[in-house]
């Protein structure tokens, strides 16, 4: 088999890249280890920056997003019996965000790629990437139990944190940066109308809680838990009791309902540099991970892919310029590091480690008070949350 761009992974990064390349007349093959059903039901992100909405529209994959996405004009910071709503448009020159589940983006992109006859193969794990330092990379993969090969001009490593792409970059070239956190998130989907208009980010002595949503009928909620927490220790009653405690505000009640999905996500900050080597280009979680507090993971992946698609357009186009590909890593990393810092800042602002001292806790509340009472601080949070203009 042969193609121009071999894409490893059919998460949001790989699927969007395949569509953007197709729109630029560039052929690709997507190889995905898991099943289509697994990819479509995997509960993850839910908050889209405007730039992400724009690139999905550019890809021609935003019809349902435009119908069903929930535009949000701010968030609530809730702590010490206070609730401060931080408005985005008035603090960012009119910008907002959209709530639309990553599962829905994956479904929309898969449907479009299949409609357009894309070579998109599920249950097809890549086992090796060869020849990235030359001009004829080769991918080895397994399909129906048989090893096959795919020859290509470029390889896009969109295979997430645990994929095979990043380790293909030589150890003496690759540099990684990492921070782990002494807590994780327990996330649930509940069949109950959200009890809030905009998302609530709540700091409490008992730990962080987030009230998000997926639609007018489905709530998405998260609790800070210990890093080694087990779902078995969190029956529904305990989840709702903890959410009620941590989100509590005089005069406000949390509506409960049947929990349909639950999962525990570890919290980590991670960056791999460079994001490219020879003919291999990493995008999305294959290159970087952020704690979900800043709602940046999915948005970073989409931003990487837009840069890569433009660079591929230049290289495969009439000009044949490799400038965009050579600049890819640095162009992405500037945005990645800004999102890494914001995600770290939001996480440490709102979470207390179990071993936090009284001094730490009092400083944290003072920091929250400052953010809630300072227009400058709220403007800074707002402009980071709604996302950065491309290339900034």
Would you name the residues annotated as active-site residues? 72, 201, 292, 296, 385
Closer of 77 and 282 to ligand FAS (Cβ): 282
Position 293 contacts ligand PHB (CB under 6 A): yes
Q: What does DSSP say about strands 74-79 and 82-87: parallel, antiparallel, or unpaired? A: antiparallel
CB of 297 to ligand FAS, least distance (A): 3
Q: In angstroms, rounded to a whole number, what is the distance separating the alpha carbons of residues 224 and 208?
A: 5
The answer to whether residues 244 and 118 touch, using CB atoms and an 8 Å cutoff, is no
Residues 207-246 that bind ligand PHB (CB under 6 A): 212, 220
- 126's contact among ligand PHB, ligand FAS, none, with CB below 5 to 8 A by partner kind, is ligand FAS
- 284's contact among ligand PHB, ligand FAS, none, with CB below 5 to 8 A by partner kind, is ligand FAS
The CA-CA-CA angle for residues 275, 280, 282, to 5°, reads 35
Residue nearest to ligand PHB (CB): 46
DSSP notation for 222-252: EEEE-TT--GGG--HHHHHHHHHHHH-BTTB
Residues 189-228 that bind ligand FAS (CB under 6 A): none
Closer of 212 and 384 to ligand PHB (Cβ): 212
DSSP notation for 258-287: -EEEEEEEEEEEEEEE-SEETTEEE-GGGT
Omega prior to 274 cis, within 30 of 0: yes
Q: Contacting ligand FAS (CB under 6 A), which of 4, 24, 34, 148?
A: 34
Contacts of 83 (CB under 8 A, 6+ apart): 76, 77, 200, 249, 252
Closer of 124 and 293 to ligand PHB (Cβ): 293
Judging by beta carbons within 10 Å of its beta carbon (0-12, 13-18, 19+), is residue 23 exposed, middle or buried? middle
Tell me which stretch binds ligand PHB (CB under 6 A): 43-51, 224-232, 314-322, 331-339: 43-51
Closer of 270 and 390 to ligand FAS (Cβ): 270
Q: Contacting ligand FAS (CB under 6 A), which of 5, 6, 7, 10?
A: 10
Position 382 contacts ligand FAS (CB under 6 A): no
What is the DSSP-derived secondary structure letter of residue 389? P
- 220's contact among ligand PHB, ligand FAS, none, with CB below 5 to 8 A by partner kind, is ligand PHB
């Amino acid at each position: 088999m042969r193609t121009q761009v071999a894409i490893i992974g059919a998460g949001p990064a790989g699927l969007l890249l395949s569509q953007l390349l197709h729109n630029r007349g560039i052929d690709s093959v997507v190889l995905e280890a898991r099943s289509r059903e697994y990819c479509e039901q995997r509960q993850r992100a839910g908050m889209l920056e405007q730039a992400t909405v724009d690139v999905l529209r550019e890809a021609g994959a935003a019809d349902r997003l435009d119908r069903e996405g929930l535009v949000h004009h701010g968030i609530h910071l809730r702590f010490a019996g206070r609730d401060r709503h931080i408005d985005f448009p008035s603090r960012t020159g009119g910008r907002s965000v959209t709530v639309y589940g990553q599962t829905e983006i994956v479904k929309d992109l898969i449907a479009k790629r299949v409609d357009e006859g894309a070579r998109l193969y599920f249950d097809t794990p890549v086992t090796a990437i060869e020849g990235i330092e030359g001009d004829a990379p080769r991918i080895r993969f397994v399909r129906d139990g048989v090893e096959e090969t795919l020859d290509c001009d470029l390889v896009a490593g969109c295979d997430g944190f645990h994929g095979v792409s990043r380790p293909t970059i030589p150890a003496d070239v690759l540099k990684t940066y990492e921070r782990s956190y002494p807590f994780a998130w327990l996330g649930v989907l509940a069949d109950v109308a959200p009890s809030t208009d905009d998302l609530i980010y709540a700091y409490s002595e008992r730990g962080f809680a987030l009230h998000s949503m997926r639609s007018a009928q489905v709530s998405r909620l998260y609790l800070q838990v210990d890093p080694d927490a087990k779902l078995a220790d969190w029956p529904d009653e305990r989840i709702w009791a903890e959410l009620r405690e941590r989100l509590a505000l005089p005069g406000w009640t949390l509506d409960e309902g049947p929990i349909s999905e639950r999962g525990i996500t570890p919290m980590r900050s991670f960056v791999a540099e460079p994001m490219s080597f020879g003919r291999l280009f990493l995008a999305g979680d294959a290159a970087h991970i952020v704690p979900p507090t800043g709602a940046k993971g999915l948005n970073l992946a989409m931003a990487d892919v837009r840069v890569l698609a433009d660079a591929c357009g230049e290289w495969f186009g009439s000009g044949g310029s490799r400038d965009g590909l050579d600049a890819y890593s640095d162009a992405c990393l500037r945005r990645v590091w800004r999102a890494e810092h914001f995600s770290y800042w939001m996480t440490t602002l709102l979470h207390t480690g179990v071993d936090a001292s009284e001094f730490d806790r009092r400083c944290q509340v003072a920091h929250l008070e400052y953010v809630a009472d300072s227009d400058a601080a709220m403007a800074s949070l707002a402009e980071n949350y709604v996302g950065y203009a491309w290339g900034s």
